[in-house]
């Protein structure tokens, strides 16, 4: 797996939120509707499964700004494990959870998302405490000794962990589902999706020499540089701070897939692909962008997204 990506000669720059209006015509290459066929291809496992062994998967989880309708049938067993190891980890990532708290983006449980810093202490007293960091209700300090909320001292200390492999594992997972959702069998036949599964299932530190066999180009949320084209993608993800976005951009020999979560750029993967048969007109011109917004799945061509980003409309 190599760092950095290239999305071709598509350029734009702006800071205001683009209007991702619906401009979508259903093509004929999309995957079948749930309940239409007995066997279903799962992009996560690369297996054809009986429909009874599948479950509906939110391509962007509800807790990260997804919605019903932006879904795909996938392997039930895989989805059960990946739901916590990848999706759940992203939902509880400090930076993402802070944004979820600010926007009150809730998951299946319906509970308000609040970051709890369990390994904290009151510096003045040295007592261990737990901090609830809520941007609406304010800071709450729970004293483990007295087992009650306290006012806390003037100095509080807490720490949090960041999983540096998580962003691209999540992007690879979304890329597999969104790629099949948008392009159907074209994605299955013409994209080297086995590399996306490797990235999704394996930490970069565990790949060893196998990392050199992966030709997919990668740019993560903490990557630096990348050039003007990658920065345009980052800007597009930041331009919709209240929503999540997935973009798929075919190149001459690759399919670029980028993901933004609630205004946070998560990353870009450019996976080898043969895209000569991919649609490149109307809602697919230069690629396709999807954003669940307020109960509506907004879909627009990548070219129109860049035009609106540049104009600020």
Domain edges within the chain: 2-89+165-311, 105-158
The residues near 69 (Cβ < 8 Å, ≥ 6 apart) are 297
The residues near 303 (Cβ < 8 Å, ≥ 6 apart) are 10, 285, 286, 287
Q: How far apart are CA 224 and CA 143, in angstroms?
A: 40
This model's pTM is above 0.75:
yes
Using one digit for the tens of pLDDT, what is the confidence trace for 195-251?
999 999 998 878 776 666 899 999 999 998 889 999 999 999 999 999 999 999 999
The predicted pLDDT at position 313 comes to 66
Contact 196, 74 (CB under 8 A): no
Q: Which of 5-19, 126-140, 240-254, 275-289 has the lowest mean pLDDT?
A: 5-19
Cα torsion 292, 102, 267, 59: sign = negative
The residues near 230 (Cβ < 8 Å, ≥ 6 apart) are 4, 5, 7, 219, 268
Among 83, 97, 238, residue whose Cα is nearest residue 160: 97
Using one digit for the tens of pLDDT, what is the confidence trace for 7-56?
544 444 333 444 443 333 444 455 655 555 578 999 999 999 999 999 99
Contact 44, 55 (CB under 8 A): no
């Amino acid at each position: 797996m190599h760092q950095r990506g290239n999305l071709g000669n598509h350029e734009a720059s702006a800071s205001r939120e683009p209007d991702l209006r619906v401009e979508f015509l259903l093509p004929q290459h999309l995957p079948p509707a749930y309940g239409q066929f007995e066997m279903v291809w799962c992009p996560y496992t690369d297996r054809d499964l009986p429909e009874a062994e599948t479950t509906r998967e939110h391509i962007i989880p509800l807790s990260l700004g997804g919605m019903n309708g932006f879904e795909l049938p996938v392997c039930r067993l895989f989805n059960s494990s990946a739901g916590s190891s990848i999706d759940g980890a992203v939902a509880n990532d400090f930076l993402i959870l802070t944004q979820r708290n600010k926007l009150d983006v809730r998951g299946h449980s319906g509970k308000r998302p609040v970051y709890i810093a369990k390994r904290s202490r009151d510096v003045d007293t040295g007592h261990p405490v737990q901090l609830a960091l809520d941007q609406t209700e304010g800071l709450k300090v729970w004293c483990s000794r007295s087992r009650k909320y306290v006012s806390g001292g003037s100095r509080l200390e807490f720490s949090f962990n960041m999983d540096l492999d998580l962003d691209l594992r999540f992007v690879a997972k979304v890329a597999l589902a969104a790629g099949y959702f948008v392009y159907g069998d074209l994605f299955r036949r013409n994209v080297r999706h086995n590399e996306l599964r490797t990235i999704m299932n394996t930490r970069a530190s565990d790949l060893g020499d196998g990392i050199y066999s992966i030709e997919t180009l990668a740019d993560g949320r903490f990557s630096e540089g990348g050039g003007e084209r990658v920065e345009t993608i980052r800007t597009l993800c930041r331009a919709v701070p209240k929503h999540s976005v997935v973009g798929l951009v075919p190149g001459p020999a690759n399919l670029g897939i980028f993901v933004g979560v609630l205004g946070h750029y998560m990353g870009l993967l450019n996976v080898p692909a043969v895209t000569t048969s991919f649609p490149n007109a109307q809602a697919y011109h230069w690629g396709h962008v999807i954003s669940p917004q307020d109960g509506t799945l907004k879909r627009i061509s990548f070219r129109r997204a860049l035009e609106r980003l540049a104009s600020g409309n």
